[in-house]
Structure 1
Amino acid sequence: MTNLGSAVLNPLLALPSAPRITYYDDATGERIELSTVTLANWAAKTGNLLRDELGAGPGSRVAVQLPAHWQTLGVLLGIWFIGAEVVLGQGDCDVACCTVDRLGEADAAVGQMGDVVAFSLDAFGKPVPDLPFGITDYATSVRAHGDQIVPERAPGPALDGATADDVLAAATASATAGGLSAASRVLSSAPWDTAAAVVDRVLAVLVAGGSVVQVAHPDPAAQARRREAEKVTAELD
Structure 2
Amino acid sequence: MPYRPAGILARMRSIDPSSPRLVWHGREGRIELSGRVFDNWVAKSSNLLVDELDATDATVVALDLPVHWKSLALAFACWQVGSVVALQDSGDDGSSPRAAQSTADADIILTSRAVEEVEPPRFLVCVALGSLALRWEGPLPRGAVDFAAEVRSHGDVYLGQDGDDAAAQLMRADGRTWTAADLADGVTLPADPGAAGQEAGRARTVLLEPGSDLRRALAAALAVWQEDGALVLVEDGVPVTERMLAGERITARLGTS
Q: What's the TM-score, normalizing by structure 2?
A: 0.78
User: 1:153/1:45 Cα in 2 relative to 1: closer, same or farther (>3 Å)?
Assistant: closer
Q: Does structure 1 conserve the Cα–Cα contact (< 8 Å) formed by 2:67 and 2:217?
A: no
Q: Does structure 2 conserve the Cα–Cα contact (< 8 Å) formed by 1:3 and 1:81?
A: no
- The reply on whether 1:126 has 2:126 as its aligned counterpart is no
Residue identity matched to 2:39: A
Which runs of 5 or more residues in structure 1 are unaligned?
none
Residue identity matched to 2:220: R
Residue aligned with 1:21, SS: strand
1:201 Cα deviation after fit = 2.4
User: 1:53/1:200 Cα in 2 relative to 1: closer, same or farther (>3 Å)?
Assistant: closer
Residue aligned with 1:122, SS: coil
Q: Mapping of 1:158-169 within 5 angstroms?
A: 158-160=170-172, 162=177, 166-168=179-181
Give the aligned partner of residue 99 of structure 1.
112
User: 1:5/1:151 Cα in 2 relative to 1: closer, same or farther (>3 Å)?
Assistant: farther
- The reply on whether 1:223 has 2:244 as its aligned counterpart is no
Give the aligned partner of residue 117 of structure 1.
125
The superposition leaves residues 84-140 of structure 1 with CA deviations (integer Å, 9 ceiling, x where unpaired) of 111112131100111024x25xx6xx6653101111111212311321221100000
The superposition leaves residues 21-50 of structure 1 with CA deviations (integer Å, 9 ceiling, x where unpaired) of 11011x33x111000010000000001001
Residue aligned with 1:144, SS: coil
Give the aligned partner of residue 49 of structure 1.
48
1:59 Cα deviation after fit = 0.9
Q: Does structure 2 conserve the Cα–Cα contact (< 8 Å) formed by 1:67 and 1:191?
A: no
Q: Does structure 2 conserve the Cα–Cα contact (< 8 Å) formed by 1:175 and 1:208?
A: no
Q: Does structure 1 conserve the Cα–Cα contact (< 8 Å) formed by 2:3 and 2:226?
A: no
Q: Mapping of 1:70-109 within 5 angstroms?
A: 70-89=69-88, 90-91=102-103, 92-101=105-114, 103-104=115-116
Give me the whole-angstrom Cα distance separating, in 1, the residues matched to 2:223 and 2:64: 21
Residue aligned with 2:171, SS: coil
The number of aligned residues is 223
Give me the whole-angstrom Cα distance separating, in 1, the residues matched to 2:69 and 2:224: 14
Q: Mapping of 1:23-42 within 5 angstroms?
A: 23-25=24-26, 27-28=27-28, 30-42=29-41
User: 1:193/1:128 Cα in 2 relative to 1: closer, same or farther (>3 Å)?
Assistant: same
Structure with more of its chain in helix, by fraction: 1
Give the aligned partner of residue 226 of structure 2.
207
Give me the whole-angstrom Cα distance separating, in 2, the residues matched to 1:190 and 1:201: 13
* Rg larger for: 2
Give me the whole-angstrom Cα distance separating, in 2, the residues matched to 1:131 and 1:170: 34
1:224 Cα deviation after fit = 1.1
Q: Mapping of 1:190-201 within 5 angstroms?
A: 190-194=211-215, 197-201=216-220
Give the aligned partner of residue 142 of structure 1.
151
Give the aligned partner of residue 19 of structure 2.
18
Q: Does structure 2 conserve the Cα–Cα contact (< 8 Å) formed by 1:41 and 1:148?
A: yes
User: 1:158/1:170 Cα in 2 relative to 1: closer, same or farther (>3 Å)?
Assistant: closer
Give me the whole-angstrom Cα distance separating, in 2, the residues matched to 1:116 and 1:66: 13
CA RMSD of aligned residues (A): 2.5
Q: Does structure 2 conserve the Cα–Cα contact (< 8 Å) formed by 1:63 and 1:96?
A: yes
Identity %: 29
Give me the whole-angstrom Cα distance separating, in 2, the residues matched to 1:154 and 1:6: 8
User: 1:229/1:154 Cα in 2 relative to 1: closer, same or farther (>3 Å)?
Assistant: closer
Give me the whole-angstrom Cα distance separating, in 1, the residues matched to 2:153 and 2:250: 36
Q: Does structure 2 conserve the Cα–Cα contact (< 8 Å) formed by 1:190 and 1:236?
A: no
Q: Does structure 2 conserve the Cα–Cα contact (< 8 Å) formed by 1:3 and 1:152?
A: no
1:146 Cα deviation after fit = 0.4
1:77 Cα deviation after fit = 0.9
